[in-house]
Structure 1
Amino acid sequence: MSGIAPAQAAPALAVSTVASGLDKPWDVEVAPDGTLITGERSGRFVAVRPGGATQTVRADESRLFVTNEAGLMGLALDRDFSSNRTLYSCQAEKTSDAAVGTGSLGNVPVPFPNTGQEIRVVAWRVADDWSSMTRSRTVLGGIPVNSGGRHAGCGLTTDADGTLWVGTGDNAVPSYPQSRTSLGGKVLHITTAGTPAGGTIPGTPIYSLGHRNVQGIAIQPVTGRVYSIEQGTSRDDELNLLQPGGNYGYRPDRTPGIYDESVPMTDPSRVPGAIGAVWSSGAPTLATPALTFLPTDGWGDLSGAVVIATQQGRRLVMLRLSEDGRATTARTDTLAGTYGRLRGLGVDRDGSLLVTTDNGGGADRILRVRPGA
């Protein structure tokens, strides 16, 4: 299934700046009223109102744990946002102590090492005027994150049925990707109450395992297929078509107790039945934090394509998928080297593509990309 699709010439694109003066905006969502909402990794929520006015959305993020890859990360709007004003965030938070505590896999309590911080999915209620947000509840906790913030994952998206998909990182812990008692190195599927949703390993929210660092999840229009993007080692960032209970073959424990990144991203020799990627980057890695699907019309030959943001690659990778969604038929790279590191992706109501940059220093932007010069 995996492979490098034939390259095609980059299309003519029109790029404009929607908002500037941002610092590592991790994700971007579009509200029904046309407001764009993003969150800087350091914990600031920012709204871009219709007409272009930018405002800070006040929120109490005093619990936030920010270091390296960890902080305020994935965002998702509730499917009934117009009526309930609920926004979900996937974020690292400080916990009260560093003792061994009790987490949960769905509704099943399990012991987990409380290292002083964990990843949580948090529900917020947004004020009607976008001036502030109030924390409603923790939807799911117990997702591990190490003190260095490495491989914190935190991809987040809402399905059409209102359930949530959560991508997690393996924390560079060799046992996590294949463990069924850790939420690290997984894709989770949960209800908005935090209980397991469809297709998960019984008694857990784990939908798939054998992942390294899943920072993006997207649902293909029309088919409803769920895809994840994860960052590779020194090679092979992967686009995966998710299957219930599927194992995607990352197993970095070849030497006991050592996190061995020389292993393949998908290793069927050590993980029988490992599911191969739909697409992999080859070498070197591009560092792929996000994906989305273009609308099914209005983009010419690229209509319906998968768009993947890259950080080290500093470009957008656009992939056409086969009819069954298990292979790629064409690849187009664009915006190469023009805007630096690219991170968050979204699609606005008019079908234009939204892209956040990830360069730091208060110089980041939300870009709008349309077909045509």
Structure 2
Amino acid sequence: MKKQFLAAIAAVTMVAAPAIAADYTITPMATGLNHPWSMAFLPDGRVLIAERAGRLRVLDKGKLGSISGVPKVYEKSQGGLFDVVLHPKFTDNGLIYLSYAAGTPSANATHIARAKLVGSALTDVKVIFTVSPTKNTPVHYGGRMAFLPDGTLLMTVGDGFDFREQAQKLESGLGKVIRITDTGAIPADNPFVNKPGASKATWSYGHRNEQGLAVDPVTGRVYESEHGPQGGDEINIIARGSNYGWPVATKGLDYSGATISPYKTYPGMKDAIVVWVPSIGPSGLAVYRGAMFKDWQGDLLTGALAIPQVKRIDMDANGKVIGQSRIFPEITERVRDVRVAPDGAIWISTDEDEGKVLRVTPK
């Protein structure tokens, strides 16, 4: 079964793109990066780039530098430095947030640190959240962050791979989307703050390995993408206190070919708005709201790792999926992140030992 699955991936990736003139330009902005995981755009025009190995780079007028003061990460397999996001009032306070794996092989977890960016250094670095319980696997960390319109911070937390049942257990922080304040406190209106024994940071649960998270700045709608096992990758609309099914309901199989659950859907659990079988390995997720690609307003852009590509999910005004298509077929490397820059350009990072950051603009 696994060989057939890998053959299917190979067949898809070998399909040639149509021989048509592209109406966009792809410009390399940085090369030679070690698995660039995420990007953030500073008001002064610089771009922060988080490398999984634990370095925070800065792209300034075409030149790559480094930011000092980054917390020590646990770098193994999928572990390392993940997301970098700016505080909504960064212009006033200079605060940034980093998510990363930290700990030891026998006890590691996803963390959030807050720091002030001063020039090319982080100061006042403070860990404001640590996922509990720790785990002994170097995979399925989640680690995507996004601020909500009310100023609270969301972060995805994976199930740790070997601990999938904990995605349904409210006392565990694994397999969740968490919500905290910008200082790391628990908001009083989180859905399970008054439930005895529950993890009070939990915003939603029943997740597997969430690699994409994006908030529509116009509607406030929260979109999340996650890896299924063998098939069953998803994009979900995240709602307060909701259960997204894993591992009770899934459209994927275990890697051995065994059935994980007899249920593809289950009463009381939220269904995805997009499902991929076979898996594409969805990664960084963005909502397009920009000036350059005017026909794409409100659409979702996602990278993919297992079947390397960039996809556009065509959305209507009510958050309903109209269709999807591959875009920028010249990009054939594993795509880790997709971001929309303030000017409306689309920035993409490739998940390679010699990774790149690319900028896409209309011709």
Q: TM-score, normalised by structure 2?
A: 0.85
SS of equivalent residue, structure 1 residue 122: strand
Deviation, structure 1 residue 189: 1.2
Q: Look up the match of 1:367.
A: 358
Deviation, structure 1 residue 168: 0.6
- Residue 84, structure 1, aligned to residue 75, structure 2: no
- Residue 352, structure 1, aligned to residue 345, structure 2: yes
Gaps of 5+ in 1: 1-8, 99-114
Mapping of residues 136-147 of structure 1, within 5 Å: 136-144=125-133, 146-147=135-136
Q: Look up the match of 2:12.
A: none
- Pick from 185, 189, 192: which aligns with 1:195? 185
- Pick from 279, 291, 304: which aligns with 2:285? 291
Deviations 1:302-351 (A, max 9, x none): 232100110112111101113321x3102120233634000112111210
Deviation, structure 1 residue 294: 1.2
The one-letter code matched in structure 2 to 1:70 is G
- Pick from 222, 228, 233: which aligns with 1:232? 228
Deviation, structure 1 residue 253: 10
Q: Distance in 2 between matches of 1:61 and 1:194?
A: 17
Q: Distance in 1 between matches of 2:49 and 2:75?
A: 17
Mapping of residues 224-303 of structure 1, within 5 Å: 224-251=220-247, 262-263=259-260, 267-269=264-266, 272-281=267-276, 283-295=277-289, 297-303=291-297
Deviations 1:222-260 (A, max 9, x none): 110111111111112111001111001112699xxx999
Q: Distance in 2 between matches of 1:187 and 1:266?
A: 22
Q: Look up the match of 1:310.
A: 304
Q: Distance in 1 between matches of 2:93 and 2:58?
A: 18
> Does the aligned pair in 2 maintain the 1:250–1:266 contact within 8 Å?
no
The one-letter code matched in structure 2 to 1:13 is Y
SS of equivalent residue, structure 1 residue 162: coil
The one-letter code matched in structure 2 to 1:295 is R
Q: Distance in 1 between matches of 2:167 and 2:333?
A: 31
Q: Distance in 2 between matches of 1:302 and 1:209?
A: 30
1:301–1:264: structure 2 CA closer, same or farther, 3 Å change rule?
farther
1:174–1:148: structure 2 CA closer, same or farther, 3 Å change rule?
closer
> Does the aligned pair in 1 maintain the 2:112–2:128 contact within 8 Å?
yes
The one-letter code matched in structure 2 to 1:140 is F
Deviation, structure 1 residue 124: 1.4
The one-letter code matched in structure 2 to 1:284 is P
Deviation, structure 1 residue 264: 5.8
Q: Distance in 2 between matches of 1:252 and 1:67?
A: 29
The one-letter code matched in structure 1 to 2:275 is S
Deviation, structure 1 residue 175: 1.9
Deviations 1:42-88 (A, max 9, x none): 10000012x222101112433x1111111111111111112221110
> Does the aligned pair in 2 maintain the 1:19–1:54 contact within 8 Å?
yes
The one-letter code matched in structure 2 to 1:36 is V
Q: Distance in 1 between matches of 2:110 and 2:263?
A: 25
Q: Distance in 1 between matches of 2:351 and 2:134?
A: 21
- Pick from 95, 105, 126: which aligns with 2:117? 126
When the two chains are superposed, the root-mean-square deviation of aligned CA atoms in Å is 2.5
Q: Look up the match of 1:160.
A: 149
SS of equivalent residue, structure 1 residue 289: strand
Q: Look up the match of 1:104.
A: none
> Does the aligned pair in 2 maintain the 1:339–1:357 contact within 8 Å?
no
Structure number with greater CO (CA < 8 Å, separation at least 6) is 1
Identity of aligned residues (%): 25
- Pick from 314, 325, 334: which aligns with 1:320? 314
Q: Distance in 1 between matches of 2:307 and 2:127?
A: 35
> Does the aligned pair in 2 maintain the 1:57–1:133 contact within 8 Å?
yes
- Residue 21, structure 1, aligned to residue 38, structure 2: no
1:168–1:249: structure 2 CA closer, same or farther, 3 Å change rule?
same
Q: Look up the match of 1:169.
A: 158
1:185–1:215: structure 2 CA closer, same or farther, 3 Å change rule?
same
Q: Look up the match of 2:9.
A: none
